Amino acid sequence: MRLSRFFIDAPLSLGQHELPEAQAHYIGRVLRHAAGDAVQLFDGSGQEYLGELIDVGKKSVRVELRECIAGLAESPLRIHLGQGLSRGERMDWAIQKATELGVSEITPIISARCEVRLKDERADKRLAHWRQVAISACEQCGRSVLPLIHPPLELDAWLQQVQADLKLVLHPVATPLQQHTPPRSLAVLIGPEGGLSDDEVARAGQLEFLPASLGPRILRTETAPVVALSVVQLLWGDL
């Protein structure tokens, strides 16, 4: 039987803990776990904790953590993904798969052809939702460290502030990805559903972003990060 594994947004240690209300509700009411069930918890520190549920109520769950083990090692390649902002499930898919493929940071990018505009309260809700998407992906894939999900940022602001040994902007007519020198850190810019404009690609080039191609086909905005990050991790990471 597969051991249930959950992220807890609070520091963990050996001994007994009362879980936060949201996780307690999910474990006790949604998944209907009972006292005596084994669980594996992680808090984003890189450590994993093995334990047992000792009390499962309607609104509270207590767990006893009995063993601390090292979590899966993170990829040696630090990747910051600048993902063009897209609608609903497309953005969720991109964040989910980028998390599974080991990115360190994700910034939703607002560019000229974005069809989505988020402001104030709505932006805060989407950010919380995207973080939960990343958490669920970590729970499923075994990562012990969460990627950092930044608030949406205008393209030019991101281009000016992002730091990496190698900076790439995906473009169908460019140098093949595998011809670049292996970096220790990488920033990858992917456009929205309408793509990046020629002017935006040019502005990225002025700030040391090199055009990189995945081949002649033009991929969907939610497909491009899956393909690009898979190739990157195969070439320079840990896949």
pLDDT digits (tens, 9 = 90+) for 107-162: 999 999 988 777 766 788 999 999 999 999 999 999 999 999 999 999 999 999 99
**pLDDT band of 218, cuts 50, 70, 90:** confident
Q: Are residues 19 and 135 in the same domain?
A: no
Host domain of residue 199: 78-236
Average pLDDT over residues 67-88: 95
Q: Are residues 158 and 174 in the same domain?
A: yes
Maximal CA-CA distance, the chain: 60
Q: Of 27, 11, 10, nearest to 62 (Cα)?
A: 27
- pLDDT of 181-209, one tens digit each? 889 999 999 999 889 999 999 999 999 99
List, edge to edge, every strand of the sheet that includes 61-70: 4-7, 38-42, 47-56, 61-70, 15-18
Q: Are residues 20 and 57 in the same domain?
A: yes
Q: Are residues 84 and 65 in the same domain?
A: no
* Final residue in a domain of this structure, among 23, 53, 70: 70
pTM here is: 0.92
Q: Are residues 82 and 29 in the same domain?
A: no
Over the range 152-180, which residues count as b (16 or more CB within 10 Å of their CB) and which as e?
bbebeebbeebebebbbbbbeebeebeeb
Q: Are residues 180 and 206 in the same domain?
A: yes
pLDDT score at 216: 82
Q: Are residues 33 and 87 in the same domain?
A: no
Q: Are residues 88 and 65 in the same domain?
A: no
Task: Answer with the residue of higher pLDDT: 238 or 44.
Answer: 44
Q: Are residues 57 and 111 in the same domain?
A: no
Per the prediction, the chain carries an average pLDDT of 92
